[in-house]
């Protein structure tokens, strides 16, 4: 996160957005916001992070970056609910049929549900971000072999036949790319401290 202290560093801010934007958007939708409202949550959360990242110091006793980002996201979600006019049914997500007050939908039961959702999505998001970064760094053929064998779960023989490689190349690509993927995930986890 140290690289984000420079507002002009477009590359690292784009990486940040690519890594966490979908996670924030999904959490906002899960909370009952519309897609438009969820997009606003993403924008407002990123702006808040940009303004406050200079004050952030990693202290495990105070919490993690993941927790800090969730806290900011929750506030931006609550802001979107507060912006709704009472009785404005067009703004409610189509699956939201409850007749409770907005504040009750943001309260504790939903918060716990959002915590669980955030943790699952955080892990999935981390894997997806690591895959995207890795895809840019390794040979396209190696990534394709890995993708077919590991992610799509094709049998090794089918991968070898379809991609015109030996069985040994399939196993080697799986081994090498898996090792690189684990390294990339560790790097992302370290960045998120």
pLDDT in tens, 47-79: 898 888 777 666 666 778 888 888 999 999 999
Place of tokens 């900011």: 72
Give yes or no for residue 175 having a pLDDT over 90: yes
pTM over 0.75: no
Given 132, 148, 164, the domain boundary residue is: 132
Residues 6+ apart with CB under 8 A from 26: 117, 121
Rounded Cα–Cα distance for residues 14 and 20 (Å): 10
pLDDT of residue 147: 94
142 and 47, same structural domain? no
Pairwise CA distance, residues 41 & 175, whole Å: 39
Question: Which token pair is 72?
Answer: 């900011």
Q: How confident is the model at residue 140 (pLDDT cuts 50, 70, 90)?
A: very high
Residues 84 and 118 occupy one common structural domain: yes
Distance between CA 177 and CA 179 in Å, rounded? 5
User: What are 132's two structure tokens?
Assistant: 């995207």
What distance lies between CA 55 and its chain's CA centroid? 22
State the angle between helix axes of 65-83 and 10-30 in degrees (0 to 180), rounded to the nearest 10: 60
Q: What angle do CA 161, 166, 170 make, to 5 degrees?
A: 90
Q: State mean pLDDT over 178-183.
A: 94
Q: Residue 84's pLDDT band (boundaries 50, 70, 90)?
A: confident
Same domain, 96 and 178: no
Which of residues 132, 148, 168 is at a domain's end?
132
Element at 43 (helix H, strand E): helix 35-52
Closest by Cα among 141, 130, 142, 135 to 173: 142
Based on the fold, state whether residues 34 and 87 are members of the same structural domain: yes
- Count of Cβ atoms closer than 10 Å to residue 70 Cβ: 22
- Asked if residue 33 and residue 112 are part of one domain, the reply reads yes
- CATH (domain of 153): 1.10.10
Higher pLDDT, 187 or 165: 165
What is the structure's pLDDT at 169?
96
* Owning domain of residue 182: 138-193
């Amino acid at each position: 996160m140290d690289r984000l202290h420079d507002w002009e560093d477009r590359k690292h801010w784009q990486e940040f957005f690519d890594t966490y934007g979908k996670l924030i958007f999904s959490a906002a939708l899960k909370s009952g916001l519309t897609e438009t409202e969820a997009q606003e949550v993403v924008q407002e959360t990123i702006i808040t992070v940009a303004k406050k990242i200079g004050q952030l110091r990693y202290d495990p006793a105070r919490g993690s970056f993941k927790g800090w980002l969730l806290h900011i996201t929750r506030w931006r979600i609550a802001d979107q609910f507060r912006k709704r006019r009472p009785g404005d049914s067009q703004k409610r997500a189509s699956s939201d049929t409850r007749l409770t007050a907005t504040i009750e939908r943001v309260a504790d039961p939903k918060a716990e549900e959002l915590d669980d959702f955030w943790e699952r999505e955080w892990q999935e998001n981390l894997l997806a971000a690591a895959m995207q970064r890795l895809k840019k760094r390794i040979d396209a053929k190696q990534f394709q072999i890995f993708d077919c064998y590991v992610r799509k779960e094709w049998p090794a023989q089918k991968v070898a036949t379809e991609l015109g490689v030996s069985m040994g190349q399939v196993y080697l690509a799986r081994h090498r790319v898996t090792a690189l993927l684990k390294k990339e995930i560790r790097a992302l986890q370290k960045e998120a401290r």
